Amino acid sequence: MSSQNVRVRFAPSPTGGLHLGGVRTALFNYLFAKKHHGSFVLRIEDTDQTRFVPGAEQYIIDCLNWCGIAPDEDPHRPGNYGPYRQSERKEMYRAYAEQLVEKGYAYYAFDTPEELEKMREQFKSEKNPSPQYNHETRLKMSNSLSLSKEEVEKKLSTNQAFVIRIKMPEHGEIHLHDMIRGDVSFQANLVDDKVLLKADGMPTYHLAVVVDDHSMEITHAFRGEEWLPSAPVHVLLWEYFGWKEKMPKWAHFPLILKPDGQGKLSKRDGDRLGFPVFAMDWLDPKSGEMTKGFKEMGFLPNAFINMLALLGWNDGTGKEIFTKEELIQQFTIERIHKGGAKFDFEKAKWYNQEWIKSSDNELLLPLIKNILHNNGIDADSKILNKVIPITKERCHLLNDFVAQLKYFFIDPTEIDVDAVKPKWDENKSSFFHTLIQEMNNIPNWTAEEVEKCFKETATKLQFKPGDVQLPFRIMLVGGKFGPAVFEISSIIGKNSTIRRIQQGIDLFNK
Ligand code: GLU
């Protein structure tokens, strides 16, 4: 394969939020393209105008940008193969469909929706509960195979509505080589005569995908497993158009499954189990419904694509953490599994935690500052620089930083009184009063000085430091968490420390 020429495409329909299965398809295409120094093309498949959703195209582009897998060619940055929206390529499809009619590989069909319904009723039997438009029924229907030439011409010249259907062979098998599955064969007579051109003059997906992959010089067509049943139609079309040598190499990616492995992961599973299924927040313009995305849940894009790549692929060594560059280096289509990959949100969070731990402040600081801002906290960058490294071990999601960090900037509002109250008494109360007086005398407010003062006061009043350290932490932080308590005290400063101790005494004495 000449690496220079690799051209792959991600071809979503702009119908709503971008499911993580879709992002993974885009990612695998991207990795393959980059590995072979080729081009990654985004083609918007918007021929089904009834399913078109405004804003969905821009949303898809935003998601790819956030993931760091921006296309090389798309509707906004066209290359030499435009247009990149199928709706703008409308004119060219009709001629291709008619070319197939002329060659005898396709035919005009004039059946009305009522006639199609009648056919389904008429030919329904126990053996065949849902009869199709195919070699068994086509000659009993109203089309250019069953009608005389004159009748057909009359219908066409009086502008009677028609569709163009492919004429599937009655015998034989259709073979395709899938880079993941090997040879896959289909019995031709089991596939129905799919519509290629609709009554509104728009192509169906089947016609458009082949014409476009050909005219955009796509070398590899990689897509989800749900498209495998359509593949025989596409292979035949490549052949019927006489383009067989240029047919792209195929691969159909395994499904992403529900956590219990029972079927394809859907948006509803995410709603039910409380995790995101879309890459980014999606606001449905029709229903006004907002669906949460991985980005807004607090995932780092590198963690998200790392996790996605490992859903159905690995490099064979057991390694799990990959940078994008490492993925590009190591990725091969052949190592993608055939079977579905179960989605595990806990594992997804583990990836994110690993990425948070290994990311430097420079990357994390602006993201965390923004999240804190959205939670009403305007955090000072100098303090953030100190506290991010000492809290990040505890964060699975960027949003976890809110709970882990907010007490550095504001007094805790929720205090775990129950953790202190049972062991609280007069003596402890006076210990903390004394501590305030002693702390007032600390000239240099450092973690070491605070610790020294705390321990000396404890010894003087015959306390084991361990017995008074928990109440101290809860006064400063609100709960039993956070980094070393003297470190926290040194960062929030003398005034805040003393104020929080006083508030704590008042609360626990109540
Ligand atoms: N338009 C199809 C989709 O929405 C693309 C399938 C393909 O890549 O051939 O996924």
- Do residues 182 and 334 make contact, with C-beta atoms less than 8 angstroms apart? no
- CA 374 / ligand 1 centre spacing (Å): 37
pLDDT digits (tens, 9 = 90+) for 144-189: 999 999 999 999 999 999 999 999 999 999 999 999 999 999 999 9
Q: Do 205 and 92 share a structural domain?
A: yes
Note the pLDDT of residue 44. Answer: 97
Catalytic residue among 35, 90, 264, 267: 267
Q: Atom 10 of ligand 1 has which residue's CA nearest to it?
A: 12
Query: Could you give the 3-state DSSP secondary structure of residue 117?
Result: helix
The residue written with tokens 């995101």 in the block is: 276
Note the pLDDT of residue 3. Answer: 45
Beta-strand relationship, 290-291 and 341-342? unpaired
Rounded Cα distance, 1 and 56, in Å:
35
Question: In degrees rounded to 5, what are phi and psi of residue 375?
Answer: -105, 20
Sheet containing 7-10, strands listed edge to edge, beginning at the edge strand earlier in sequence: 39-42, 7-10, 220-224, 249-253, 173-178, 182-187
Q: Candidates 47, 209, 249: which one to mutate for ligand 1, based on the most atoms within 8 Å of Cβ?
A: 209
Q: Do 384 and 316 share a structural domain?
A: no
Of 92, 87, 21, 19, the closest CA to residue 52 belongs to 87
- CA 59 / ligand 1 centre spacing (Å): 17
Cα–Cα distance list, 411 to 75, 403, 492, 495 (Å):
50, 12, 10, 11
Q: Last residue of some domain: 180, 212, 244?
A: 212
Q: Last residue of some domain: 183, 212, 241?
A: 212
- Do residues 294 and 20 make contact, with C-beta atoms less than 8 angstroms apart? yes
Cα 486 from chain centre: 42
Q: Do 121 and 201 share a structural domain?
A: yes
Q: Candidates 9, 10, 13, 253: which one to mutate for ligand 1, based on the most atoms within 8 Å of Cβ?
A: 13
- CA 11 / ligand 1 centre spacing (Å): 5
Rounded Cα distance, 133 and 193, in Å:
6
Q: Do 101 and 35 share a structural domain?
A: no
How many of the other CB atoms lie within 10 Å of CB of 94? 16
Per the rule left: phi > 0, alpha: psi between -120 and 50, beta: everything else, 340 is beta
Q: Atom 5 of ligand 1 has which residue's CA nearest to it?
A: 11
Give the CATH number for residue 14.
Answer: 3.40.50.620
The verdict on whether 267 is a catalytic residue reads: yes
Domain assignment of residue 234, yes or no: no
Give the CATH number for residue 502.
Answer: 1.10.10.350
Q: Do 265 and 198 share a structural domain?
A: no
Q: Do 274 and 304 share a structural domain?
A: yes
Name the β-bridge partners of 278: 19, 293
Query: Could you give the 3-state DSSP secondary structure of residue 342?
Result: strand
Q: Do 77 and 92 share a structural domain?
A: no
Rounded Cα distance, 250 and 456, in Å:
73
Cα–Cα distance list, 353 to 298, 384, 395, 432 (Å):
10, 18, 6, 37
Q: Last residue of some domain: 345, 375, 390?
A: 345
Q: Do 339 and 265 share a structural domain?
A: yes
Cα 255 from chain centre: 13
Task: Give every CB contact of residue 422 below 8 A, 6+ residues apart in sequence.
Answer: none
Q: Do 131 and 147 share a structural domain?
A: yes
Note the pLDDT of residue 2. Answer: 47
Domain assignment of residue 126, yes or no: yes
Task: Report the predicted TM-score, pTM, of the whole model to 2 decimal places.
Answer: 0.93
What type of residue is 463? F
Task: Give every CB contact of residue 495 below 8 A, 6+ residues apart in sequence.
Answer: none
Note the pLDDT of residue 126. Answer: 84
Q: Do 42 and 114 share a structural domain?
A: no
In ligand 1, which atom is closest to the CA atom of 223? 8
Q: Atom 3 of ligand 1 has which residue's CA nearest to it?
A: 12
Burial of 131 per CB tally in 10 Å (0-12, 13-18, 19+):
middle
Contacts 24+ apart (CB under 8 A), 447-456: 447/484, 447/486, 447/487, 447/489, 447/490, 448/486, 450/486, 450/489, 450/490, 450/497, 451/486, 454/486
Domain assignment of residue 75, yes or no: yes
Burial of 217 per CB tally in 10 Å (0-12, 13-18, 19+):
middle
Buried b (16+ CB within 10 A) or exposed e, 112-122: eeeeeeebeee
Measured at the CA of 180, the angle between CA 219 and CA 169, to 5 degrees, comes to 70
The residue written with tokens 């008074």 in the block is: 468
- Residue 13: CB within 6 Å of ligand 1? yes
- Do residues 461 and 435 make contact, with C-beta atoms less than 8 angstroms apart? no
- Residue 223: CB within 6 Å of ligand 1? yes
Q: Candidates 45, 48, 52, 234: which one to mutate for ligand 1, based on the most atoms within 8 Å of Cβ?
A: 45
What type of residue is 216? M
Note the pLDDT of residue 51. Answer: 86
Give the CATH number for residue 187.
Answer: 3.90.800.10
Domain assignment of residue 350, yes or no: no
Domain assignment of residue 220, yes or no: no
Structurally, how many domains does the chain consist of? 4
Rounded Cα distance, 498 and 437, in Å:
9
Domain assignment of residue 243, yes or no: no
Domain assignment of residue 381, yes or no: yes
The residue written with tokens 């590989």 in the block is: 105
Rounded Cα distance, 60 and 183, in Å:
33
Query: Could you give the 3-state DSSP secondary structure of residue 25?
Result: helix
Rounded Cα distance, 145 and 139, in Å:
7
Question: In degrees rounded to 5, what are phi and psi of residue 123?
Answer: -95, 5
Question: In degrees rounded to 5, what are phi and psi of residue 264?
Answer: -70, 140
Q: Do 27 and 118 share a structural domain?
A: no
- CA 102 / ligand 1 centre spacing (Å): 28
Question: Which segments in the chain show pLDDT lower than 70?
Answer: 1-4
Domain assignment of residue 69, yes or no: yes
Q: Which domain holds residue 150?
A: 87-212
- CA 13 / ligand 1 centre spacing (Å): 7
Q: Do 487 and 384 share a structural domain?
A: no
